[in-house]
Amino acid sequence: MDIYNVLNPSQNRVCQLLGIETPIIQGGLAYVGNGSLAAAVSEGGGFGQVGSAGRTLENFEREIIIARSKTKNPFGVNIPISAHTDFTPFFEILKRHRSDIRAVSFGGGNPAPYIKTIKDMGFITMVVISSPNQASKAERLGADIIICEGYEAGGHNGKAELTTFTLIPQVRRAVSVPVVAAGGISDEKGLIASIILGADGVQMGTRFVATTECEAHNHYKELIVNSGEDSTTVLIRDIKGPLRVYKNDYAVMVRNLEKNNADTEEILPFIKGVKNKNAAIDGDFENGYAALGQVSSLIDGIISATDVVLEIANKSKKILRPFHVGYGSLQN
Ligand SMILES: Cc1cc2nc3c(=O)[nH]c(=O)nc-3n(C[C@H](O)[C@H](O)[C@H](O)COP(=O)(O)O)c2cc1C
């Protein structure tokens, strides 16, 4: 494979399926994955997604309408399984906006009961997984795109705790559908490394929080820009599976409860949705937590999500151009 051509939209399977220019997906972002952000990513030639976690039905639908009003380009929605109990009303919204939405991604839980429904509605179906075994299962169930997310990612991580670098090649071997790498990616080097390891594209979360269009509180965005090597920690590993967050005093307090073997019932109230909202939307980091990936230490500015995508696209093409002719089979 000519590695340069992987970024050619007419040859890239993720670009083909999603109808986009550059294989960069904005991951579902609980509370902060708003319509303006999704539209800005899609305007840059990537694939934005409106998140459903942390939103009421009305708010979810409104953000879809906002996204459509701000871009003519394709975008999608994210449905994390663990964030919902009743999927029917969300699927009704998807039905109403069938022509606006290109793809539906499932994260955080087992999407087996829902993949067929979503495919039958005509959506491209993307499934976030964190192990090669889950990837094979998702492919068998009909996933069109597999998003493999490593342990360095912000938010809920897989129990296997596989890192992105080891996950991509294993998932590439396990499935034949397109593979998108997530976790630890914020720039053109991450995109190119992912492609060389066998991915067809990337999904980024933390990078897109620190953008002008994201509805995260400015304090949260600034914490990302100022974060360093010790800025994330993992909560509730043994209770619900790892959750990677910003390491503020609040998160350290929750970790201490875990270390001291507090009861699950004592710990869980500290990580419920409203505590996430306190920090992510209201900027109150004294009384809440916010998801954050290890890649935050590489993010140095709050810029437009459109520019994030355009910059990565331009810089990666520049880097890969010298390898255009006959570079051979790096992926095989
Ligand atoms: C603030 C935040 C919220 C997230 N919420 C969701 C979500 O609701 N659904 C989901 O599937 N993934 C969610 N994720 C995971 C991202 O979609 C993405 O896969 C991940 O952030 C990639 O790793 P990175 O943070 O290193 O870029 C979230 C991540 C972050 C940082």
Beta carbon of 241 within 6 Å of any ligand 1 atom: no
- Give 62-97 pLDDT, tens digit per residue: 999 999 999 999 999 999 999 999 999 999 999 999
* Ligand 1 pocket member 78 (CB < 6 A): yes
Q: Token pair 């954050």 is at which residue?
A: 292
Q: Which segments of the chain have a pLDDT < 70?
A: 1, 325-332
Question: What atom in ligand 1 is closest to the CA of residue 150?
Answer: 23
Domain segments of the chain as ranges: 3-215+299-323, 232-291
User: Distance between CA 175 and CA 150 in Å, rounded?
Assistant: 17
149 within 8 A of 128, measured Cβ to Cβ: yes
CA of 203 to the centre of ligand 1 (A): 9
- Res 267: pLDDT: 97
Q: How far is CA 257 from the centre of its chain?
A: 29
Q: Which of 134, 46, 72, 144 is nearest to 104 (CA)?
A: 144
pLDDT tens, 130-163? 999 999 999 999 999 999 999 999 999 999 999 9
Residue 107 CB–ligand 1 contact under 6 Å: yes
Contact yes or no for 191/158 (Cβ under 8 A):
no
Q: Fold for domain 3-215+299-323?
A: TIM Barrel (3.20.20)
Is any ligand 1 atom within 6 A of the Cβ of residue 80?
A: yes
pLDDT of residue 329: 47
Q: How far is the CA of 55 from the centre of ligand 1 (A)?
A: 15
19 φ, ψ (degrees, to nearest 5): 70, 40
pLDDT at 73: 98
Predicted local confidence at residue 135, as pLDDT: 98
Burial of 228: CB neighbours in 10 Å, binned 0-12, 13-18, 19+: exposed
pLDDT for residue 3: 77
Q: Taking the model in full, what pTM does it have? A: 0.97
